[in-house]
Structure 1
Amino acid sequence: MTAPAPDPAAPTGRLRTVSLRFRATLTVLLVLLVVVAGLAVVVDRTFAAEANRNANALLTGRAQLARQLARQGVGPQQLVNRVDAHGIRASLVLPDGRVFGTPPSNGRRDLVDRVQLSSPGRVDGAVLTLVVDRAFLDNAQQTLRRTLLLAGLGALLLGGLSITLGLRYALRPLNAFGALARDVISGRRGGRLAPDRTDTELGQAAAAVDGMLDALEGAEQHARDAEADARRAARRSQEFLSDAAHELRTPIAGVQAAAETLLHQGSDEGGLSTTEREQLLVLLVREAQRAGRLSEDLLTTARLDTGVDVQHERIDLAELVRGEADRTALLHPGVELAVHGLSRLADPWLTSDPAKIRSVLGNLLGNAARATAATGPAGSIAVTVSEEPGRVRVLVTDSGPGVPAADRERIFERLVRLDASRTRGSDGPGTSGGAGLGLAIARGYARALGGDLVCVEPPPDVRGAAFLLTLPRTARTVVGSGASPAPSDRP
């Protein structure tokens, strides 16, 4: 089996942490040294070439002067004296062998120029030797080299100091990086580099670090929120199970008591009468039905968290509202019930789930009827239907005791009951039978259809509660709809 090739981008050892300031200073000084040395060599070579060029030009000029003096008939010694100057040594050899001036020395790197003169005088045919004094040029070049050396050392020293101070200032933002990293390690959050420019190297690095910290703190906050949500969910589940067990205990206890009474006394002589037996049987059936409704509501509530299948049918909302209103009026003949706005609907047709809409309306109207009946025989319920672009609104108000503003959201939580008038047994499917699940299920159905159910501030002429049901013209397909989603999901 062939071993995988090592990743060239992967770290191969510990990170070398030599001082960045030292490395940058050393690098710049080496570059400066190379530049200064190269510049010194160029200046030295240029000076030498220019000095030779000037010396040759000087020799040419002195030779021309010697020819002019010879044609003028100037004597040998005077000619040598006139030409021998400014680093030029002249030696004149006459045809008869006499020598005037200093003869040139052998073995030196002097520049030499020999000129034969023609003259009407004594120097006719004489040979003039011109020599440039090399020692003068060498001294000048040595002086230049010493100057370049001192200047180079001074430049390196000054450059080193300048680079050290400049790097200390330039690398100051790295201290901010380190301080921020130490804050993060120590647990302090919220600090940022906040670069004023993000188009530079440090700005891009600072922006990347800030973005990383944003993501880190966001992930930490998300983890804390998830942990808190999990704890709340666990607590709600425990409370839900506890409350559900408590709610089921009552009907089950009734069933058990009735069954035990029938079992132990039903066959004894002088035991239960026929009337008592019938009452026990009725109690047994009612408690069994109550337990069944509560179990069904608990299952419905659980399904709301995982997803609700929505049936799509073409329904007439006006007919559906009238049907539920008539049903409630039959079940509660002492309550005045009025329906408004149906005739003003431009389009009463929806594509939705009629069973779930009936369940929601039945719960709202049943609760309103019981709340209204609790205040006296002259109670009333009003159902107002209106429409807006893409949705319809059904407002149910009553003349009951109302819902306090602080409880208008809490009333939709599972197994929450504010008063007996709003939590007794209901009249329609999907209701709680007093367990505090009816409104939670109703809101879950409304949101499963793509709408919502909220308890709102009642109109000025209404003293009781007001519940607003909103429904889209076309329901959603399949959704998971908790009874109490985040506030941002509410219209």
Structure 2
Amino acid sequence: MTLTAIAVLLVVLPVTGLTVKAVFDAQAERSLDSLLTGRAQLAQQLARQNVAPGNLVRRIDADGIRVTLILRSGQQLGAPPVDPGGTVRQVRATLQAGQRTRGATLLLSADTALLADASARLRNVLLVSGAAAILITALALVIGMRFALAPLDAMTGLARSIAAGRRGGRLQPERADTELGRTAAAFDEMLDALEGAERTARRSEDRMREFVADAAHELRTPVAGLQTAAETLIQLGPDASASRREELELLLVRESRRAGTLVADLLELSRIDAGLQLHLAQVDLRHLADAQASRLRLVAPDRTIDVAGSATVTADPERLAQVLANLLNNARQAGAHSIHITVGPTGALVADDGPGVPVEVRERIFHRLVHGPQSSGAGLGLAIARGIVRAHGGDLTVTDRADGHRGAAFHLTLPHHSSNPQ
């Protein structure tokens, strides 16, 4: 920027100096011509007033002007005449009036060397002052630019320190009402956003690593069971008893189903993370709850399941049925013997008589691969259920039962505007 400003000065100052000199020279020439013409007109007026020749010469005389009056008789008054040309500018006039001056020749001469000398002095002054102006301006620009652009140096240093791995530095401008101040403030805001995103990404990465490790741990058990059963079958050969073979085959089926369920749940969680595609429709929530209660009665006939209330909501019926199924399975796996479902215009309440959920872990049970000591699941059902409900714009939480009895109460809440009670 300094070099650019100096380059502009190197162009502007000479052009300005040449313009000033040209204007001065032209004005000086016009002034000299005006002076000579004015003196000649004054001489004509004095002649009409019948002023004596000698007095006329004295009255039109002026500094820098050579006056010569040649009468008709040949008599010369004033300065000796000079030949025009070179540095001499001359005006010749014939007087038209006066007893003694009629017909006389008036010569007004001026030496333009004085103008040339003044022009030369002006040129020298312009050169010296222009050079001094360029030098002073260059020094001022260097100092001023260093001071004015100091925030950019600080910004550069901070950016390099961040690139080197050092975090937390900020510019913190004293004034945010200037261009550089606003730039520095925006730079700090950008760093806040970037470091926040970096922390979020690191937390996500840590959670993902933990999730992958937990998933691998959970898969290890059914895979190990499959491997053990398969190897045992191979080692027993065709001579194994039918009961032993049936036992191992049942183990293979059970462990493969367990592994398949876990993989399906992991894929479901990945779809939730990527953003579920919901197919919304008017859903009879009571009908969904009755269907899931009937399913659980077939799987666990020793459980007691009651459904109360009715409502129609706007939701994805398949996804909402999946949420209810996960909640019922969670209650069964936790050891509940009695489950009560209450349907309402804003969602559903699933209460059980299981061991309940301690306050300190009520949020943690919705994390992935987290399950209670009495649960036989993989710890993905509640995470999937909450993810689906939140994709609808609602939420899934857990509290104690409102009636004071032992157990847990899961609140499935949907947005109020998507509900329409019957």
Is the pair's TM-score, using the shorter chain for normalization, greater than 0.5? yes
Offset from partner CA, 1:315-335 (integer Å, 9 cap, x none)? 824643664686699526xxx
Whole-angstrom CA distance in 2 between matches of 1:184 and 1:409: 36
Whole-angstrom CA distance in 2 between matches of 1:119 and 1:447: 121
User: What residue number does 2:29 align with?
Assistant: 49
Match of 2:412 among 470, 480, 483: 470
Q: 1:358 to 1:410 in 2, by over 3 A?
A: closer
Task: Show the 5 A alignment for 1:54-93.
Answer: 54-68=34-48, 71-72=50-51, 74=52, 76-93=53-70
* TM-aligned CA deviation for residue 67 of structure 1: 0.9
User: What residue number does 1:293 align with?
Assistant: 254
Letter in 1 for 2:329: N
Contact 2:366 2:386 in 1 (8 A): no
Indicate yes or no: 2:372 matched with 1:393: no
Contact 1:51 1:137 in 2 (8 A): no
Q: 1:359 to 1:319 in 2, by over 3 A?
A: closer
Whole-angstrom CA distance in 1 between matches of 2:386 and 2:43: 119
SS of alignment partner, residue 147 of structure 2: helix
SS of alignment partner, residue 67 of structure 2: strand
Give the CA RMSD over aligned residues: 5.0
Q: 1:147 to 1:92 in 2, by over 3 A?
A: same
User: What residue number does 1:316 align with?
Assistant: 287
Offset from partner CA, 1:382-418 (integer Å, 9 cap, x none)? 50312234xx3141221x4433233445556787664
* TM-aligned CA deviation for residue 117 of structure 1: 5.3
Letter in 2 for 1:39: T
TM-score by length of 1: 0.62
Task: Show the 5 A alignment for 1:104-253.
Answer: 104-106=81-83, 108=85, 109-116=88-95, 118-120=97-99, 122-123=100-101, 125-191=103-169, 224-225=202-203, 227-244=205-222
* TM-aligned CA deviation for residue 301 of structure 1: 1.4
- Return 5+ residue gaps in structure 1 as ranges: 1-19, 267-279, 373-380, 424-434, 474-491
User: What residue number does 1:276 align with?
Assistant: none
Match of 2:377 among 436, 440, 452: 436
Whole-angstrom CA distance in 1 between matches of 2:278 and 2:123: 97
Letter in 1 for 2:306: V
Whole-angstrom CA distance in 2 between matches of 1:443 and 1:86: 108
Contact 1:455 1:466 in 2 (8 A): no
Whole-angstrom CA distance in 1 between matches of 2:140 and 2:320: 84
Offset from partner CA, 1:334-393 (integer Å, 9 cap, x none)? xxx5736x2x3245999448985785465345346x456xxxxxxxx350312234xx31
Q: 1:100 to 1:244 in 2, by over 3 A?
A: same
- Return 5+ residue gaps in structure 2 as ranges: 272-276, 416-422
Whole-angstrom CA distance in 2 between matches of 1:322 and 1:32: 91
SS of alignment partner, residue 316 of structure 1: helix
Offset from partner CA, 1:435-458 (integer Å, 9 cap, x none)? 433x63476478669789966121
Letter in 2 for 1:90: V
TM-score by length of 2: 0.70
Letter in 1 for 2:302: L
Whole-angstrom CA distance in 2 between matches of 1:98 and 1:226: 117
Contact 1:29 1:160 in 2 (8 A): no
* TM-aligned CA deviation for residue 304 of structure 1: 1.9
Whole-angstrom CA distance in 2 between matches of 1:146 and 1:411: 91
Specify which structure has the higher proportion of helix: 2
Letter in 2 for 1:465: G
User: What residue number does 2:274 align with?
Assistant: none
* TM-aligned CA deviation for residue 239 of structure 1: 1.7
Letter in 2 for 1:232: E
Indicate yes or no: 2:310 matched with 1:345: yes
Letter in 2 for 1:87: G
SS of alignment partner, residue 356 of structure 2: coil
Q: 1:160 to 1:126 in 2, by over 3 A?
A: same
Task: Show the 5 A alignment for 1:451-462.
Answer: 456-462=398-404
Number of residue pairs the alignment of both structures matches: 396
Q: Percent identity?
A: 29
Contact 1:442 1:453 in 2 (8 A): no
Contact 2:398 2:411 in 1 (8 A): no
Whole-angstrom CA distance in 2 between matches of 1:417 and 1:60: 120
User: What residue number does 2:264 align with?
Assistant: 303
Whole-angstrom CA distance in 2 between matches of 1:234 and 1:329: 32
SS of alignment partner, residue 462 of structure 1: coil
User: What residue number does 1:404 align with?
Assistant: 358
User: What residue number does 2:76 align with?
Assistant: 99
SS of alignment partner, residue 131 of structure 1: strand
Whole-angstrom CA distance in 2 between matches of 1:287 and 1:363: 26
Whole-angstrom CA distance in 2 between matches of 1:291 and 1:327: 23
Offset from partner CA, 1:108-159 (integer Å, 9 cap, x none)? 5232323245433x55544333333545555554554454445444444443
* TM-aligned CA deviation for residue 190 of structure 1: 4.3
